[in-house]
Structure 1
C-alpha cells in the first residue's frame, strides 16, 4: 500500500479531496489531504507574508512530523508549484510525484508569470474565481450543481504572495518517477507543446502521461476515475 499527500490548487482545501481520499483509503492506502496556509480551514492565517515558501514548508512539515515515507506526492493545479519544490527537500521520502492538470514551471517563473496578473487582487489575496460553468465550460466541465455549490460556498481567497513568488529549485521528471494526469489539455496539444519546449511541460519530458478528459477539478468531477489513476 502507498502513502499519499494530496495538495490542492488555489482557493480550495483538503475538503476537495474527500471523495478521492475515501476511495484510496478503501483500498488500504494511507492518505493525507493537505490544506495550504491561508486557505479554507486555514484561511484565518491569510496574510501578506504567506508565500510559496510557506506552502512548501506546509508539505515538508506534514511529511516530517508524521514521519511519512515512500510518499506519492500529488499536486493539483497551483499545488504543483510547492509540490515540485518540496519534493527536492523530501528526496529520501518520495517514491513518486504526480501532477494533476499541473506541472513544475521553470525556475524563476511564478504562477502569475504563467497565467497573468490579477487586476482585482487585494494586498493579501487573489479573490475566488467565478464558478460559472456557462462562462467557463472547459475548466468547469463535468461539475454537477452539487459540486459547483460546494465550490461557491467553500472556496476562499488565495494568498497573493504565493502566486507572485518565483519558483526556485524544483524537481523534474528526471529526479523522480513522475506522472502527469492531463484533464483539460488534449493529447495532441500536449504532444505539440512538449515538442515546442513549452515551459508548462519542459520539466516533464520523462514523465508518464495519463489522460482523464474532464474539467480542471477532477477530484470533484470524476473522483473515482482520478483515484484509480493515482492508485
Structure 2
C-alpha cells in the first residue's frame, strides 16, 4: 500500500478530499490531504506563489518521511504536484493528475488558453482569483448539494500561483504517471498532456463525470487511485 498525498485545485483545500480519503483508508492506504499555502485554513499565511506550493508538497513528504508516495494533483494542483514529483523522485511510487494541468517549463497555469478574463479578475480582486458561483458548476455531474459544498468551502486563490512559470529540470515523460480525464469537462486531454501520454510511463484513465470528481464520484475516483497505487 502506498502513502497517498492528495492536493486539490484552485479555491479548495484538504477538506475537498474527505470522501475520497475515507474510501482509500478503508482500502488500507495511509492518506494525507494537503492544503496549499494561502487557501482554506491556510488563507492567512504569508503570500503564496507557485514555488511556495511546490515547497508545501515537498516539505510535507519530507517532514513525514513518506516513502512509496502516490502524489495526486487535481486541476491547478497538477502544476506544483508535477514539479514536486520531480524533486521527490526517490520517494515516489506514482503521480496522478486528476483532470489537471501539467507543468511545462517556463510556462504558467494561464499559458496556452484564453485566460485574459482570469487575469482581469485577479487584477480586480487585489491579486486573488475569486471563487466560482453555483451557476459555473452546471453540466459537471454535480448535485445541488455538492455544488453548495464546493461554493461554501471555496476561498480566493492567490493569483501569482497562476501567473508564475513552472521550473522543470527535465521532461515529465519519464515519471510513472496516471492521467485521469473527466469526460464532462471535455473528452480530449490538453496538448501538453497528450504529448506526455505518448510515453510508456504514462497511462490514461477516463471517468464519466465532470471536473470535480472528488465530489461527484468519490468512490469511482478512489477506485482509480487505488488501481494506480497497485501499478508496478
Q: TM-score by structure 2 length?
A: 0.88
| Corresponding residue pairs, total | 217
Name the Cα RMSD after superposition: 1.7
The 5 A counterparts of 1:46-57 are: 47=47, 50-57=48-55
Aligned residue in 2 for 1:205:
198
SS at match of 1:111: coil
Aligned residue in 1 for 2:33:
33
Distance in 1, Cα, partners of 2:46 & 2:181 = 30
Per mean C-alpha deviation after superposition, the further-off stretch among 15-24 and 164-173 is: 164-173
Per mean C-alpha deviation after superposition, the further-off stretch among 199-208 and 79-88 is: 199-208
Distance in 1, Cα, partners of 2:30 & 2:61 = 12
Aligned residue in 1 for 2:45:
45
SS at match of 2:86: helix
Per mean C-alpha deviation after superposition, the further-off stretch among 110-119 and 199-208 is: 199-208
Cα gap change, 1:19 to 1:171, in 2 (>3 Å): farther
Report the CA distance between 1:120 and its aligned residue: 1.8
What runs of 5+ residues in structure 1 fail to find an aligned partner?
A: none
Contact 1:126 1:160 in 2 (8 A): yes
For the pair 1:224 / 2:219, whether they are aligned, the reply is yes
Report the CA distance between 1:205 and its aligned residue: 2.3
Distance in 2, Cα, partners of 1:171 & 1:19 = 35
What runs of 5+ residues in structure 2 fail to find an aligned partner?
A: 227-232
Aligned residue in 1 for 2:112:
114
SS at match of 1:201: helix
For the pair 1:59 / 2:57, whether they are aligned, the reply is yes
Cα gap change, 1:153 to 1:170, in 2 (>3 Å): farther
Report the CA distance between 1:204 and its aligned residue: 3.3
Deviation digits for residues 33-91 of structure 1 (CA, Å, limit 9, x no counterpart): 110000011111263xx111000000001000000010001000000000010011101
SS at match of 2:44: helix
